[in-house]
Amino acid sequence: MKAFFFKRAPAMCLCFCLFLCLNGCGGSVKKYGAAFLGTFDTTVQIIGYEKSKADFDEAASGAQGMIEELHRLFDIYHDYDGISNLKTVNDMAGTAPVRVDDRILELVEFAVDMYSKTDGTVNIALGPVLRIWHDYRSEGVSLPPRELLEEAYGLCDILDVVIDREAGTLFLRKSGMSLDVGACAKGFASGLVAESLPDGYLISAGGNVVVSGAPGDGRETWKIGVQDPRDDEENPIVTLGVYGGAVVTSGDYQRTYTVDGVSYNHIIDPSTLMPAARYRSVSVIGPDSALCDVLSTALFILPADRGGELAEAYGCDVVWILPDMSVEMTEGAREIAT
């Protein structure tokens, strides 16, 4: 894992949070950037070094097409003509298995496998509970009643998610069940897109950053900023030097609402059915984007000692930002932080 990260930071620093500072570069290649909206509920940004803008545009538009396609497949809110997506699977809960694209099967298989590996903290069958929180957050007035959450939780058993690889189908055994892949779909999709890009590109999708090799201007690393949870996008709280793999952040500032002066975020601890409140944010650094995404959500819920153990088991490093804004890091994260 350490092969992905460098301790030494180049003097010139490209800081990256929800913003990008586009600098010029030497040599025969130039730096290009593109951004688009409309997928995974966030802005997707792509940066690459190419000899010509036409080369970059070709790579970036291929990446955009791919992420749009993955967005349609993993969407739980909208139908699209001619495809069976996760909304179709949810709509058919308790009724019949749905034949789906292999990439849906792969994502769901991966996420179901990670359920026990994350001590049950990341449960993609938590859809009914997450939908209630989503609706109450959209209203922004009150908290969901406990009984409503508990009743919904009765339909969240991961063992009732049936994956039939041979038939290529997905089935939710009970009517009213639903999948929510918010904890892992962006990381999974960004990882696939990064694999399809030439070496030395960076893709960022709302807290998920993946790079396909060191930047093409001769610098050793990309500098990836961990956003200050207090909304200061200009000044990252920590900057990490990476030349491969992913940095994925789960933060309490990403989707939140306030009731009686208390802020409630979007990451729900299945053991309490309430938003997790241990940290302001958790960033996971590692070779695999989908894994970092699942782990960032899990570690946001878990105590730091258990989270650290889990990250180590998967060859990942972690930056935790605590409610008092103090920063804890694993040793590997400290080595690449500035």
Residue placing its CB nearer to ligand AMP in the complex, 183 or 237: 183
Site for ligand AMP in 235-264 (CB under 6 A): 250, 254-255
Rounded CA-CA distance 107/253 in Å is 26
Site string for ligand AMP, 119-148 (x = CB under 6 A): --xxxx-x---x------------------
* Least gap, CB of 93 to Mg ion (angstroms): 23
Q: Which stretch binds ligand AMP (CB under 6 A): 30-38, 142-150, 292-300, 304-312?
A: 292-300
Q: At what angle do helices 185-196 and 53-74 cross, to 10 degrees?
A: 150
Residue placing its CB nearer to ligand AMP in the complex, 179 or 333: 179
Are the C-beta atoms of residues 268 and 290 closer than 8 Å to each other? Answer: no
Residue 182 binds: one of ligand AMP, Mg ion, none (C-beta under 5 to 8 A by kind): ligand AMP
Pick the binder of ligand AMP from 29, 205, 267, 302 (CB under 6 A): 267
How many chain residues touch Mg ion (CB under 5 A)? 4
Residue 212 binds: one of Mg ion, ligand AMP, none (C-beta under 5 to 8 A by kind): none
What are the structure tokens assigned to 48, written together? Answer: 């690459």
Beta strands in the chain (DSSP E): 30-39, 42-50, 98-99, 161-164, 169-172, 202-205, 208-211, 222-226, 238-242, 245-251, 257-259, 262-264, 268-269, 274-275, 281-286, 317-321, 327-329
Residue placing its CB nearer to Mg ion in the complex, 14 or 183: 183
Rounded CA-CA distance 217/212 in Å is 14
Site for Mg ion in 181-210 (CB under 5 A): 183
Which residues share a beta bridge with 242? 5, 222
Residue 178 binds: one of Mg ion, ligand AMP, none (C-beta under 5 to 8 A by kind): none
Residue placing its CB nearer to ligand AMP in the complex, 30 or 87: 87
Which residues share a beta bridge with 112? none
297 binds Mg ion (CB under 5 A): yes
Give per-residue burial for 266-295: e unless 16+ CB within 10 Å, then b.
bbbebeebebbbbbbbbbbbbbbbbbbbbb
Rounded CA-CA distance 277/268 in Å is 9
* Least gap, CB of 324 to ligand AMP (angstroms): 21
- Residue ranges in contact with ligand AMP by CB under 6 A: 121-124, 126, 130, 180, 182-183, 250, 254-255, 266-268, 270, 293, 296-297, 300
- Residue ranges in contact with Mg ion by CB under 5 A: 183, 293, 296-297
